[in-house]
Structure 1
Amino acid sequence: MRKPRDFDSELKALTDKAKLLKERKVHQLGELVIATGADALSVEQLAGLLLAGVSNKDPAAKESWSKRGAVFFQRATTNVGDDRGNQGGTAASDSGTTPARTQASTN
């Protein structure tokens, strides 16, 4: 005879896993904001920039942002062996955050 499933414990395990994944996502988003130098913006500016990006329907702009993001992450990957403290500041200034703000404000 089969052992009955404990749905309560399975549900709790899934809930715990979902909570952990959400916490990890929030943490990674915070790290991304810092790594790109966007933490220098006010909360209102950052929110406005993100809202402009989400509401932008121009596929060419989104493709351009994707390419810039890929380059940013490739740089971050190639600099893993280096002193990350120095690279964080360099990556933020090299990532072109100013053109991104300009680009978002023109759309």
Structure 2
Amino acid sequence: MRKPRDYDAELKALEDKARELKTRKVQQLGELVIATGADALTADELAGALIVLVETKDAGKRESWAKRGAAWFRSKSRRTAPAPERDAGGAPAQPGSGQPPQGSTGAA
């Protein structure tokens, strides 16, 4: 005879997993804000900038931002990765320069 499923225990496990994932997401977003230097902005400035980003429908701007973000992540991984694992791809964006990486329009 089959053992009956404990739906309550399964539901609790799923809720715990969802809570853990949400906590991890919030932590990672906070770490990203700090790593990019955006923690120097006021909460109002940061919120306003994020709202503009979310409301932007211009595909060209969004693509430019995506390329710039990808270059930033690549440059971060290069600084922390051991030499044999480093990517020999394009030049990374200069941190804090305010200039977009080569090949992007820099529209913000």
TM-score, normalised via structure 1 length: 0.78
1:4 aligns with 2:4: yes
**One-letter amino acid of the structure 1 residue matched with residue 19 of structure 2:** K
Structure 1, gaps ≥5 residues long: 83-92
**Aligned-residue offset at 1:99:** 6.0
Structure that is richer in helix per residue: 1
Structure 2, gaps ≥5 residues long: 83-93, 101-105
Q: Which consecutive aligned stretches of 4+ in structure 1 deviate over 3 angstroms post-superposition?
A: none
Q: Identity across aligned pairs (percent)? A: 54
Higher relative contact order (CA 8 A, sep 6+): 1
**Aligned-residue offset at 1:95:** 5.1
**Aligned-residue offset at 1:103:** 4.8
Name the SS of the counterpart of 2:80 in structure 1: coil
In 2, distance between residues paired with 1:16 and 1:26? 15
Within 5 A, what are the aligned runs for 1:47-62?
47-62=47-62
Matched pairs, number: 92
Equivalent residue, structure 2, for 1:39: 39
Question: Is the 1:72–1:95 Cα contact (8 Å) retained in structure 2?
Answer: no
In 2, distance between residues paired with 1:99 and 1:49? 18
